[in-house]
Amino acid sequence: MGNPSMREKPSPIFADSTAGPDVRLWCAVLASLLSDARCYWQSTHGHGIAADDYRLEQAFDDVMRCGPMLRHVCNNSGHDAAWISEGFARWCERDGL
């Protein structure tokens, strides 16, 4: 994995207006995955799902370990899955409470 600070910063999660509809859709899926992971971490409610719902836990686990869901979504949205996973883990350690 290399040093994330040495990598080129990936594009914002939300695609710009010139992106095709498929990229915009995958960016929305990525935003939803990160929102679910954040909701699990903060034990709040997200998207009408109880905070202890296993789907939130699955999202959190997958983002934290750069799992197959995150890699698939990032591959289709044009994002660096490792960079997002590492950044999310840092956010949880520092600001996530």
Per-domain boundaries in the chain: 20-94
CA atoms lying within 13 Å on the CB side of residue 53:
15
pLDDT at position 3 is 43
Mean pLDDT score, 5-25: 67
Per residue in 65-86, pLDDT tens?
Answer: 999 999 999 999 999 999 999 9
**Does the predicted model carry a pTM greater than 0.75?**
yes
Distance (Å) of CA 75 to CA 27, 52, 55, 65:
11, 28, 21, 16
Per residue in 22-62, pLDDT tens?
Answer: 999 999 999 999 999 998 888 765 556 676 788 999 999 99
pLDDT at position 33 is 97
Distance (Å) of CA 81 to CA 52, 70, 88, 94:
25, 6, 10, 20
